[in-house]
Structure 1
């Protein structure tokens, strides 16, 4: 925020000037922008709703609860998407070996997501949020495990698409040479052998 101060009353004022800054105006702008960064926008409510204003405290308890609820739901949706993508990847690749630590991270992610949903349904927002954070961490550990990364970015069909253009130019002369050797061998067998 650029805070414009009043110009000095007389042009002969000595520097430095003492300036009183109205911090209420500054902090109102700062708090409004901070609330937007947190995702707390002012929403128009129906006139029959009574809504507590945050006042000078910055965040009301209900706003904090709303933030926890929104982030918990977002985390659960992220876990669901990540685990679904992992399952689709593993369905496409038939000959894959899943390590025990990847499987345990998947189980931990599912258990934490279920715990978060149960805590959310019970109204325990802090524990629901913590469980959803653990679920996100476990699901991303499983998805980005180093043993699965090469399968994620280079499945077998893409490997063939990459390597065939490299080996095909070398294979053509080799195959032509083999065909020529086979033809010459057949011709030698057909020709009568000369006995001296």
Structure 2
């Protein structure tokens, strides 16, 4: 299988953080997004950012910005679909997604997702830890993008309902050091600073 493209999902509303772009908040002296790019970019063939609104605010990062095609902030699956549509236009067969507010995810995310999905006609896998699945971190096949679009247009919002329907596999990660710790509140940001 060809190396997947990468998509950083940052299209949420950040309501618990008071709105705005969480991925642009400073963490360790640099925007959080910079840390996420540094982790994902070496693992993928090409990288894009899923975000809504004016893309000019991300101009300094040098990434294509793709916005949701499903109206009304339909959650992470809308970001996955936007990423799949972009990847299809670039000739990629699959994408790996990572959340823009989760700066410590594993540096071997992509190889482990690929391993979990080995042998599948349409490779589909989610990261999981002992605490459960991490639905924003997954391997998604471009071939299923129209199925995903139809599911979203039909009102589906739960990632695992869609991945389970397609036999999605699990890539297991140990929970030590909270690799999928995500920053939702000002308190989380303080904790993340201490984790650096």
TM-score by length of 2: 0.23
From the two aligned structures, give the one with the greater strand fraction: 2
**Larger-Rg structure:** 1
TM-score by length of 1: 0.23
